[in-house]
Amino acid sequence: MKTLIALATSAAMAVSLFSVPDIASAQSSRSYGTGSPCAAKKDTKGKQGLVTGAIIGGVLGSAVAGRGNKTEGALLGGTVGAVAGNSIGRHKVSCASYPRRLSATRRANCRWVTEYYGGRNHGFEVCRGRDGVWRPSGRA
């Protein structure tokens, strides 16, 4: 029972700590924020990895811990899993430079980004608008 309570508490803390900033800063589905689009993507993937790693690490830590130490094992496993998940998530994002075919026509307020969806990487250009928000330009 203690293990179940520890796991539920760890999961609730991880979700509440890291999902609130995402909800508060949510933008339209095709917006990349006002900062660097690459840094924003790395932050998002890092947070997703952190939460996933904390949950998996907590479960595994509790399972591996000796009798009477399940709570400590869950907390230690959750912490190690959170750190590892954040690192792995951030390293899954690659900041790409312009492809050779478009490098000569590069625009001043634009960046090339790569996203993984549909089973492969897709590269496209995002440009900063007058409001400071990055949005896709239509060049791929």
Q: 77-129 pLDDT, tens per residue? A: 999 999 999 988 888 776 667 777 776 677 777 888 777 778 887 788 888 88
Q: Which two tokens stand for residue 20?
A: 């609130």
Give the mean model confidence (pLDDT) for residues 64-76: 88
Identify whether residues 121 and 73 lie together within a single domain: no
Q: Which two tokens stand for residue 77?
A: 């496993």
pLDDT recorded at residue 51: 93
Give the mean model confidence (pLDDT) for residues 52-76: 90
Identify whether residues 59 and 113 lie together within a single domain: no
| Residue 122 bridge partners (DSSP) | 115
Q: Which two tokens stand for residue 31?
A: 């917006």
Identify whether residues 132 and 70 lie together within a single domain: no
**CA distance to 14, 52, 104, per residue, from 76 (Å):** 14, 15, 51
pLDDT recorded at residue 77: 92
pLDDT recorded at residue 79: 93
Identify whether residues 40 and 52 lie together within a single domain: yes
Identify whether residues 86 and 109 lie together within a single domain: no
Identify whether residues 87 and 99 lie together within a single domain: no
Identify whether residues 41 and 86 lie together within a single domain: yes
Identify whether residues 72 and 127 lie together within a single domain: no
Residue span of the structural domain in which 133 resides: 95-140
- Does residue 3 or residue 113 have the better pLDDT? 113
Identify whether residues 68 and 53 lie together within a single domain: yes
Percent of the chain with pLDDT over 90: 19
Q: Which residues of 56-91 are buried (b: 16+ CB within 10 A; e: fewer)?
A: bbbbbbbeebeeeebbebbbbbbbbbbebbbeebbe
Q: What is the dihedral of CA 28, 33, 36, 42, to 10 degrees?
A: -60
- Does residue 66 or residue 11 have the better pLDDT? 66
Identify whether residues 82 and 112 lie together within a single domain: no
| Residue 125 bridge partners (DSSP) | 112
Evaluate whether 127 touches 107 at the Cβ level (below 8 Å): yes
pLDDT recorded at residue 29: 47
CA 56 to chain CA mean position, Å: 16
pLDDT in tens, 33-48: 556 667 777 888 889 9
Identify whether residues 8 and 59 lie together within a single domain: yes
Angstrom distance (rounded) from CA 51 to CA 14: 6
Give the mean model confidence (pLDDT) for residues 8-12: 60
